[in-house]
Amino acid sequence: MSRISTFKTPALTIAPVLTIALAAVLGSCASAPSSHPRLTQLESELKAAYGDKYVAEYGHDDLARAQVSLADARVAIRKGRDTEMQHDLTMAENHIALGEIHGRQERTKAETVALKDRQDQVRLAARDRDIRKANDRAATSRADAAMANAASQDANARAELSRAEAMAANAATQAAEDKTTAMRDQLKSYDMKITELGATLVLRDVMFDVNSAVLRAGAVNRLDPLISYLRSSPAVSVRIEGHTDSTGSVEHNNDLSLNRANSVRMALLASNSVSNPIETYGYGQSKPVASNATISGREQNRRVEVTLK
Amino acid sequence: MKMLARSTTRLTRGTRALAVSVLLSISFIGSVSAGQAELNARDAITRAEAKIDLVSKENPAATQNTSFVNAQQKLVAAKAAIVRNNDQQAMWLATEAELFAENTAGASKLAGLERTRSEVARDVDILESELRKE
């Protein structure tokens, strides 16, 4: 009982003391600083950090540590432990910073991946464009090649044609030369000159008597080589021109020259083997080949020219 | 009264012995605890030192950063605190140094990632510009 009374008495005695002490403690708690500007600032930063998707996800552990540090800081502030509070706030600040760094790292990685995807797409588009260009160039080249091939074939054809024409021309030339050579051989007994009209044979007046258009008896034989040639060349046309010297009137000489030409024509046709077309002309004294002032010149002017075409 | 006095003396002696015993225990536990705190602080300093060395080797350019300078200053202060036998202070400063070093390394890595992103973005811009020209 005495022990009880011993305990009771002090309890009753100290009750007011405890009440005062409690009031003092509560009073001291009420007056103790519950916040700090830096703490408030960091709490705000932590809240903002949680608002960032990447920081909240990839800096989660850091932010959780920051929360613990801030809680420690609050306790330290309440207990008035300034050094400890500074440490806790420094830790909280660095944990928030590290969380933000981790979040930004992941965001940067994600953005880089997206950019690389875009890069691949653009490169693909560029490659497609290059392929299209190459195809276009190839098509153009093929078209150019086809055109060049066609042009080449055309040129070859033209060249072939030219060769054929040249060969034909050569052959024609050769044939003409052969013909001329053959004609020369056959008509070598005549005085022959080659003119624009063809080969012209000159028959002097020894074939006619003076002022006569009748061929002398032996003169017909003189025409034998010509007759022989015309027989072998029925396509050759014949032009016979009669010429005189200046002796006598022009009119008479014209008639005489034409008659002499006709006499030669008749002699040719009389052979019955000449069917070539024959034209006759009488030029009289109009086309002298030498001077009529001399005997020799007049002899040269008195002539019949047979042109073979 | 005498008996009461004797018993009180006995109680006082017992209490003294108990008190001495408790005090000795507390002293022992305290000394052990103090030794452990110093060891912990030294471990924290070693870790911070290793991280700072790693950052300076891997990212020499990062040694100009404020956070790296802070890490170095905190490490120096932690070592000074150990010398003063202020283990708790040393522990705090060493952990702060370690965290500053981690921030430096993280920021350095972030800068590298951002450089890569910028290069890719620039390349994409060039490619798109070339594509638009056609």
Q: How far is CA B53 from CA A43, A102, A123, B60, in A?
A: 32, 21, 42, 10
- The predicted pLDDT at position B27 comes to 57
Share of residues in chain A with pLDDT > 70 (%):
88
Bridge-partner residues for B70, per DSSP?
A: none
Question: Looking at residues A56-82, what average pLDDT do you find?
Answer: 97
Answer whether residue A48 shows pLDDT above 70: yes
| Cα separation, A280 vs A288, whole angstroms | 18
Contact assessment for residue B45 and residue B75, using Cβ atoms and an 8 Å cutoff: yes
- Residue with token string 């054809």: A157
ipTM > 0.85 for the complex: no
Q: How far apart are the CA of B77 and the nearest CA of chain A, in angstroms?
A: 13
- The predicted pLDDT at position A32 comes to 52
CB contact under 8 A, A101 and B121: no
Q: Which two tokens stand for residue B123?
A: 């390349």
- The predicted pLDDT at position A28 comes to 44
Residues of chain B positioned with their CB less than 8 A from the CB of A102: 106
CB contact under 8 A, B106 and A101: yes
Q: How many Å separate Cα A108 from the centre of its chain? A: 50
CB contact under 8 A, A91 and B103: no
- The predicted pLDDT at position A202 comes to 87
B60-89 residues touching A, CB cutoff 8 A: 67, 89
Contact assessment for residue B124 and residue A115, using Cβ atoms and an 8 Å cutoff: yes
- The predicted pLDDT at position A13 comes to 43
| pLDDT class of B13 with cuts at 50, 70, 90 | low
Contact assessment for residue A43 and residue A89, using Cβ atoms and an 8 Å cutoff: no
Answer whether residue A74 shows pLDDT above 50: yes
Share of residues in chain A with pLDDT > 90 (%):
57
Q: Which two tokens stand for residue B31?
A: 């000394």
Q: How far apart are the CA of B62 and the nearest CA of chain A, in angstroms?
A: 15
| Cα separation, B109 vs A79, whole angstroms | 39
CB contact under 8 A, A126 and B89: no
CA atoms lying within 13 Å on the CB side of residue A171: 6
Rounded-to-10 torsion of CA B6, B8, B14, B20: -120
Could you tell me the end-to-end alpha-carbon distance of chain A, in angstroms, rounded to an integer?
A: 182
Q: Which two tokens stand for residue A130?
A: 């290059």
**How would you classify residue B33: left for phi > 0, otherwise alpha for psi between -120 and 50, otherwise beta?**
alpha
Residues of chain A positioned with their CB less than 8 A from the CB of B134: 129
Q: What is the DSSP string of A54-114?
A: HHHHHTHHHHHHHHHHHHHHHHHHHHT-HHHHHHHHHHHHHHHHHHHHHHHHHHHHHHHHH
Query: Which residues on chain A place their C-beta less than 8 Å from a C-beta of chain B?
Result: 83-84, 87, 90-91, 94-95, 97-98, 101-102, 104-105, 108-109, 111-112, 115-116, 118-119, 122-123, 125-126, 129
pLDDT in tens, B33-60: 668 999 999 999 999 999 999 999 998 9
Q: How far is CA A173 from CA A94, A267, B113, in A?
A: 112, 32, 92
Number of CB pairs, chain A paired with chain B, less than 8 A apart: 63
A34 backbone dihedrals φ, ψ, rounded to 5°: -100, -5
- Please list, in sequence order, all residues whose beta carbon lies within 8 angstroms of the beta carbon of residue A188, skipping any fewer than 6 positions away: A225
More confident residue, B44 or A32: B44
Longest CA pairwise span in chain A (Å): 211
Select the residue of A95, A102, A129 nearest B134 (Cβ to Cβ).
A129
- At residue A74, what is the residue type? R
| pLDDT class of B28 with cuts at 50, 70, 90 | low
Answer whether residue B14 shows pLDDT above 90: no
Q: Which two tokens stand for residue A211?
A: 């002022």
**How would you classify residue A284: left for phi > 0, otherwise alpha for psi between -120 and 50, otherwise beta?**
left
| Cα separation, A16 vs A7, whole angstroms | 16
Angle at B10 between CA B9 and CA B12, to 5 degrees: 60
- The predicted pLDDT at position A241 comes to 93
Question: Looking at residues B87-111, what average pLDDT do you find?
Answer: 97
Contact assessment for residue A175 and residue A214, using Cβ atoms and an 8 Å cutoff: no
Q: How many Å separate Cα A225 from the centre of its chain? A: 68
10 Å CB burial of residue A133 (0-12, 13-18, 19+) is: exposed
Q: How far apart are the CA of A126 and the nearest CA of chain B, in angstroms?
A: 6
- The predicted pLDDT at position B6 comes to 54
Nearest to A89 by CA among A29, A41, A31: A41
**How would you classify residue A211: left for phi > 0, otherwise alpha for psi between -120 and 50, otherwise beta?**
left
Find, in chain B, the residue whose alpha carbon is nearest to that of A105.
Answer: B110
Select the residue of A105, A119, A129 nearest B110 (Cβ to Cβ).
A105
